[in-house]
Structure 1
Amino acid sequence: MSSVLEKSLAIIELLIEHPAGLPVSTIASTLDQPLSGVHRTLQELARLGYVHQLRAQGDYMLTIKLPAMGLSFLARAGITDITQPVLDTLAAETGELIRLSVIDGENLTWVAVAQGTTHGLRYDPGQEQGVVAHLASSAGGQAWLATMSDEEAIARVSAQGLIRNAKDAGPNAPHTFADLLQRLNEARERGYAVAVDSYIPGMAAMAVPVRFHGDGPVLGCLSIAGPAVRLDPERMARLAPRLKAAADEIGHAAAGSQYFRSKVRELEPA
C-alpha cells in the first residue's frame, strides 16, 4: 500500500469485518502496516468521527457514522424506497431470505435484504449488505454472468478469482471455467441461476437479473436463499415465476431512482 488514503480505507474495511473492534497491533499485523502509522491513522479517523477507542489503550471499532452515511446514500438515491417493499412482500410469500444486489463498476454488491421467517431453520447471514458478491459461486453472480457472453463472463471471473476463500466456499462451488460455463448455460436455459452448497455450505439460492424496464440494461440481481434441505429444485421451479415477477417490478420502478437512472445512462452505448 502506498497512499495514506489507501491505508486508511484498508483499516476501515478491516474494521467493517470486525464490528467488536480490534487492537492496534492486530490491525497493523493484518494489514502489514507500521504500528506507528496505523496508530496515527486511527487517531485521525477518531478525530473525524469514523472510529472510536473502546477504552484507554483499548480496541478500536467503527462508529455508526459510516454505516449511517451508506444508509443515507441508499435512501437519497431512491434504492431502498422502491425496492424494499418488493423484497418484503417476496420474503413474506416465500418464507426465505431475499437479497438484492446492484452492479457497481465491475462488481455486484448486496444492498438490501428481507427475511421471510423469524424462527425455525433458516439462512440468515446478517452481514451481507455492502458485501461484494463472489461471482462464480453465488446465485446472483451467476445470474449476472449468464447475461454476458462466455468470454466476458470468464474475464470478469478471472479478475475477481474463480475460487472463493477456501474456508468459506461451499463444496459444490465451480472449480473450473468449464464447470462454470456449463452452469451459466443451464441458467440461460432454465431462466434463473441456481447455487446449492456453492457460496456457503448448506445454503441454496436462486437468482434472476433485474433489468431496467424489464428488458433494458441489467441493474443488478434478485435472489431467494434458504437452507438447501428446504429450497430444493422442485420448490425453486415453483418459486421462479414469482421471483421473475418481483425482479420485473423492481426493474419498472427503477426509473424512480436517481441511482438506477444514472446507471442506465452509464451502461447505454455512447
Structure 2
Amino acid sequence: MAGGLVDKVFTVIKVLSEAPDGMPLAEIAELSQMPKSATHRLLGELIRLQLVRQAGNGGSYFLSMGLLSIAFQHLARIGVVDASMPILERLANSTGELVRLGIVDSNRQVWVAKAQGARSGLIYDPQMGDVAHLSCMASGHAWLAYIDQDAAMRLVGAQGLESPGKFGPNAPKTYQELLDRLERVRQLGYAIAVDSSAPGMSAIAAPIFHPINGSVVGTVSVGGPTSRLDEEKLHKIAPEVIAASDELSQFCAASPYLMSANPYLAE
C-alpha cells in the first residue's frame, strides 16, 4: 500500500473519530481534502474491513467497534492498563481527584488509563485516548523536562506554544518561560500546572522512568479544579504522586511494550 494511501486512510479515520453522530460522505471528503469518488471508494474498503459502518444506503458513516476492539485488545495484551489500575485507583482514592496514566508514544503522549477519585462537586473527567498538549500541561512538562531541550522545543513548536484564549491564563507564552518551568521540574522531580491547561484547572504529574535506560516512558498525574487543587495542595500530595510513579516504573519490567521504549531523540 502506497504511503499516500495510508495517509488518506488515517485522515478519514481521524475525521470520523471526531464525529460520534456520524458524518455524510460529502463532509468527510471535504475535511479529508479528497475527491468525493475517492473518499467513497476508501470508505467502501474500510467497511469491508469492518473498521467503518454506514447507516443504511446513502446514510452517514461511523467508526465501527472493530477499530476499538483492535485498540482494546492491544492494550490488554501489552498489560499496561490492567497492571497499572490498582496503583491509579489507590492514588485517586487518597487524593480524591482524577488520576491519569499517560504513555509516551513516539513524539506524543497519550492517556491510556484513569481512575476517578472525586465523588461530588465539580468532577474533571476527560476522555481517554486524548493527546497531551505538551506546552501547558503538567504531564507534558514532566516528560519534556527529561529529554533533549532542543528536541522538546521542536515538539512544542509542532503542537503550537500558545494560543490566546485556548488555554489557561498561566500557560507559558514564550519558549524561555517554558524552559524555565522545565528546569523547575528537574529540581522538584515533578511538574505542577495551575490554571495553565484551562482556566480553573490544576494538575501535578511525575515522570515514569524506564528502569534500565532512564528515559521517560510515561507520566502519572492528578488533576482537578483549582478550588480544590491549589499550588499548596499540589506540593502537599507530591510525595504520593512520586511514589506512584516509582511503583509504575518498577512495573515496566513486566511489560515488554514499555521495556522496548527508547528515549525520544528528535533529529
Which residue does the alignment assign to 1:156?
Answer: 155
The TM-score with structure 2 as length reference comes to 0.91
Moved more, 34-43 or 191-200: 191-200
State whether residues 87 and 98 of structure 1, in contact with CA within 8 Å, keep that contact through their aligned partners in structure 2.
yes
Amino acid at match of 2:118: T
Amino acid at match of 1:227: P
1:54 counterpart residue number: 55
- Measure, in 2, the Cα distance between the counterparts of 1:171 and 1:11: 34
Q: What amino acid is aligned across from residue 130 of structure 1 in structure 2?
A: G
How far the C-alpha of 1:228 sits from its partner, in A, is 1.4
Query: Is residue 213–residue 248 contact of structure 1 (8 Å, CA) maintained in 2?
Result: no
Q: What is the CA–CA distance in structure 2 between the aligned matches of 1:168 and 1:141, rounded to whole Å?
A: 16
Mapped contact 2:106–2:264 kept (Cα < 8 A): no
In the TM superposition, what whole-angstrom CA distance separates every residue of 1:170-193 from its partner, at most 9, and x where no partner exists? 332212101111211222223311
Write the mapping of 1:156-175 to structure 2, written as runs, cut at 5 A. Answer: 156-163=155-162, 168-175=166-173
Q: How far did 1:39 drift?
A: 1.5
Task: Compute the displacement of 1:158 (Å).
Answer: 2.5
Deviations 1:112-148 (A, max 9, x none): 11111243212112x2x22221111111111111113
Instruction: Report the number of matched residues.
Output: 264
**Change beyond 3 A, Cα 1:119–1:43:** farther
**1:79 deviation in Å?**
0.8
Deviations 1:151-170 (A, max 9, x none): 33223322333236x66423
User: What SS does structure 2 have at the residue aligned with 1:183?
Assistant: helix
Alignment partner, residue 256 of structure 1: 254
Q: Deviations over 1:191-227 (max 9, x none)?
A: 3111222223321111110012398321111111101
Letter in 2 for 1:233: E
What's the counterpart of residue 231 of structure 2?
Answer: 233
3-state secondary structure, aligned to 2:211: helix
Q: Which runs of 5+ in 1 are unaligned?
A: none
Counterpart position of 1:208: 206
Question: Structure 2, unaligned stretches of length 5 or more?
Answer: none
8 Å contact 1:214–1:252 — kept in the other structure? no
Structure 2 CA distance for aligned equivalents of residues 182 and 236 of structure 1: 19
Q: 1:87: which partner in 2?
A: 88
- What is the aligned counterpart of 2:244 among 199, 223, 246? 246
Change (3 A) 1:156 1:256: same
Percent of aligned positions that are identical = 43
Whole-Å Cα distance in 2 between the matches of residues 229 and 214 of structure 1? 39
Partner of 1:29: 30
For the aligned residue pairs, the C-alpha RMSD in angstroms reads 2.2
Q: Distance in 2 between matches of 1:237 and 1:152?
A: 28
Confirm or deny: 8 A CA contact 1:82 1:257 kept in the other structure: no
The one-letter code sitting in structure 1 at the alignment partner of 2:40 is H
The normalised TM-score by structure 1 is: 0.90
Q: Is the 8 A contact 1:80 1:112 kept in 2?
A: yes
- Over 3 Å counting, the alpha-carbon distance change for 1:227 and 1:215 in structure 2 is farther
1:177 alignment partner in structure 2: 175
Separation in 1, partners of 2:204, 2:213: 20
Q: Which residue of structure 1 aligns with residue 8 of structure 2? A: 7
> Would the aligned equivalents of 1:212 and 1:254 in 2 still touch at CA under 8 Å?
yes
Q: In the TM superposition, what is the alpha-carbon distance from 1:18 to its structure 2 partner?
A: 1.8
Instruction: Report the CA distance between 1:55 and its aligned residue.
Output: 2.9
Quote the Cα distance in structure 1 between the aligned partners of 2:255 and 2:165. Answer: 38
8 Å CA contact 1:214, 1:251 repeated in 2: no
- The answer (yes or no) to whether the contact 2:147–2:264 under 8 Å persists in 1 is no
Which SS does the other structure have where 1:11 is aligned?
A: helix
Partner residue in 1 for 2:218: 220
SS in 1 for 2:258: helix
- Note if contact 1:82-1:254 (Cα within 8 Å) is conserved in structure 2: no
